[in-house]
Structure 1
Amino acid sequence: METLLGELGKRISDRWVIRLVLPGLLWLVAAATAVVLGHARPFDAAALVQRAEQAGMALSARPVAAAAAVAAVLGAAVVAGLTAQALGRAVRAVWLGLWRGPAAPLGRRVRAWRLRRATARPPEGAAVPGRFLPARPTWIGDRFRLAGERVDAQYGLRLALVWIPLWQVLEEPIRTPVQEAADRFDETVRLAGWGALYAATGVLWWPGLPVGALVMVIAWRQGRAAAAGFADVVEATVDTRHRALAEALGVALPHGRLTRAEAAVINDLLHKGHRLP
């Protein structure tokens, strides 16, 4: 047990260092630069070095104060990391098109604009079904929504209902790519949170604003790719493992494949008998 707890603590510590402490320390350097240089002399490296040397000399003669300063810096780095994660959650809501409150009217207008664009230039061939047209103000939000729509169109399964039970019957080798795809999207969300935090230093030091904006643009582009990859993996998992879910739930497949009749039974079982919309 002690070995297990020690290994778990090591993993947690490593995760904190990678996701919170190290990026937080880097942001603290940017924040200190913003405080020291300000808007007037944004690239005065000599002044920055001089201030750092003064702080180092002052602490070198006071070991207790130096230890307290190190602890304070590490604590501040953790706080910065937690703040970036909170900002990332807000960014995630924006990316997913969950625009509520005062942003709801803007969300409706953006969604209508995306819908007009999609219908103004229809693709060659058959018309796109209405359920596959834009229904959220963001591309990422629609890509995640489309995963559920495509699964429902193909099998009649409600992805929101079947995903967690399906996850329970997945073998570890199949879970790994799904988890990796989810982690890639989460990383882009955290990166966007850090971008917002760097942009905040622009209040005192104007270079922080374009740096933060650039980080957020990079995160957004990577987020689109990560969202598409995650949605594709989720759909592929349902395609290849829905029979295992039916077997685990005791739903027979007399035709050798899942039809909408069996899908309705699965949906009803997982919805605990409540009427589905």
Structure 2
Amino acid sequence: MSAFLNALGGKLAERWLALLAIPGLVYLVSLATAVTLGQSQWHDIGRLRTRLDSLAASPGANSAGAIAVAAVAVLAGAALTGTVAQAAGALIEKVWLMDARGPLSRRLTRRRVRRWRAADAEYRSALVAAGRARIGGAADAAALTEEAELRYAARNRISLVPPRHPLWAGDRITGPDRRVWRAYRLDLTLAWPHLWLLAPDTTRAELTAARTALSAAARLTAWGSAYLLLSAWWWPAALIGAATVATGVLRGRTAAASFAELAEALADLHGRDLAVAVGMECEGRLTTTLGESVTRLLSKPD
């Protein structure tokens, strides 16, 4: 038990350093740099050196007690900064996945719906043209088919399903629910805990990693936003913040897509296992009739 507690304490300490202390300490250093240099002397390294020398020559620099207090204060400030950034990351993640509720979110959702419908209409027109060309043996049939494929990809870049959320990540995460329902009449929200229990450890590890990556991307975006705030004192922080925010958003899109693909694959691969596990006969693939029966059973109607 003692060895287990020591190992657990070590892991918690490593996680604390990785998530809170080190990023917070770097941010505090950046904040001190921004305040010291300012906008007009943003590149004056000599001014930083002078400031460090004056701190080193202060009376408290020779006091072990003062140094210890300063170190504890810095670590506490770093941890507090990291905690705030973590909370901001959780808020950003909720914004990415939020439903259309307020006036602004509904407006953004309607805009995404219009874009999706326009892209869908272009895809269907291109598909009809390609089909007619292939039936008629036209010389440009291959080119029209490729055009239809490009239109299909353009529509799916907006959303795989008709949008219902103001942001891309919301529709990407919830898209498997609607796609699985359309394919199998299986309510993925109801079936998810059962599918999770049936999934092998490797599958659950992949899903957990993708979900963790989404949260990490949101935290990275929060840190980037914090660096953007420093640009009010030191404009180079805007470059750091913009690059960090862009990286966080791109990582968030990748993580959301990975999690959605894995969730849909879980239903495809283990939907039949779920039907068998709840006592239904399923010799072949999961059908819509059987999927609807599983959904009705899991919903536990009165």
Structure 2 residue 35 is the aligned partner of structure 1 residue 35: yes
Q: Which stretches in structure 1 are left out of the alignment for 5+ residues?
A: none
Bigger mean CA deviation after superposition, 112-121 or 158-167: 112-121
8 Å contact from structure 1 (residues 199, 213) kept in 2 = yes
Residue 202 of structure 1 aligns with which residue?
231
TM-aligned CA deviation for residue 178 of structure 1: 1.5
After the TM superposition, which parts of structure 1 deviate over 6 Å for at least 4 consecutive aligned residues? none
CA contact (8 A) 2:100 2:165 kept: no
Match for residue 95 of structure 2?
94
AA aligned opposite 1:71? V
- Spell out, residue by residue over 1:222-242, the C-alpha distance to the aligned partner (whole angstroms, 9 max, x if none): 221221122111111221122
Q: Residue 64 of structure 1: CA displacement? A: 0.8
Q: Superposition pairs for residues 228-239 of structure 1, below 5 Å? A: 228-239=257-268
Q: Report the TM-score when normalising by structure 1.
A: 0.88
Of 283, 290, 294, the match for 1:262: 290
Q: Quick one: which of 165, 168, 180 aligns to 1:139?
A: 168
1:250–1:6 CA distance, 2 compared to 1 (3 A):
farther
Q: Does 1:271 align with 2:272?
A: no
The reply to whether residue 85 of structure 1 matches residue 86 of structure 2 is: yes
Identity across matched positions, percent: 35
**Counterpart-to-counterpart distance in 1, 2:172 and 2:109:** 17
Query: Which structure has the larger Rg over C-alpha atoms?
Result: 2
Contact residue 105 and residue 166 of structure 2 kept, 8 A? no
The Cα of 1:120 is off from its aligned counterpart by 5.0
How many residue pairs are counted as aligned between the two chains? 273
Distance (whole Å) between structure 1 residues aligned to residue 296 and residue 57 of structure 2 = 71
Cα distance in 2 for partners of 1:141, 1:185 equals: 12
Q: Would you say 1:148 and 2:151 are equivalent positions? A: no
CA displacement at 1:250 relative to structure 2: 2.5
Aligned to 1:66: 67
**Where does 1:220-259 land on structure 2 (aligned, <5 Å)?**
220-253=249-282, 255-259=283-287
Q: Is the 8 A contact 1:28 1:77 kept in 2?
A: yes
Checking the alignment, whether the CA contact within 8 Å between 1:114 and 1:134 is kept in structure 2 is no
The 8 Å contact of residues 88 and 189 in structure 1, kept in 2 or not, is answered as yes
Question: 2:12 matched to which residue of 1?
Answer: 12
Contact 1:23–1:81 (8 Å) recurs in 2: yes
DSSP 3-state at the match of 2:127: coil
Per the alignment, residue 103 of structure 1 pairs with 104
Letter in 2 for 1:7: A
Question: Take 1:261 and 1:141, find their aligned partners in 2: how far apart are those partners?
Answer: 29
Letter in 2 for 1:48: L
**1:159-212, Cα deviation, whole Å (9 max, x unpaired):** 211112211222212212212222222221111011111111122222222321
What's the counterpart of residue 127 of structure 2?
Answer: 125
Alignment of 1:180-191 (within 5 A): 180-191=209-220
Q: Read off the aligned partner of 2:241 and give its amino acid letter.
A: G
C-alpha contact (below 8 Å) 1:97/1:137 kept by paired residues: yes
SS where residue 121 of structure 1 aligns?
helix
Q: Classify 1:208/1:261 alpha carbon distance in 2 versus 1 (closer, same or farther; 3 Å).
A: same
In the alignment, which residue of structure 2 is the partner of 1:56?
56
The answer for the alignment partner of 1:115 in structure 2 is 116
**Unaligned residue ranges in structure 2 (runs of 5+):** 129-151
- Give the superposition deviation at 1:43: 1.7
Cα shift at 1:145: 2.1
Give TM-score scaled by structure 2 length. 0.81
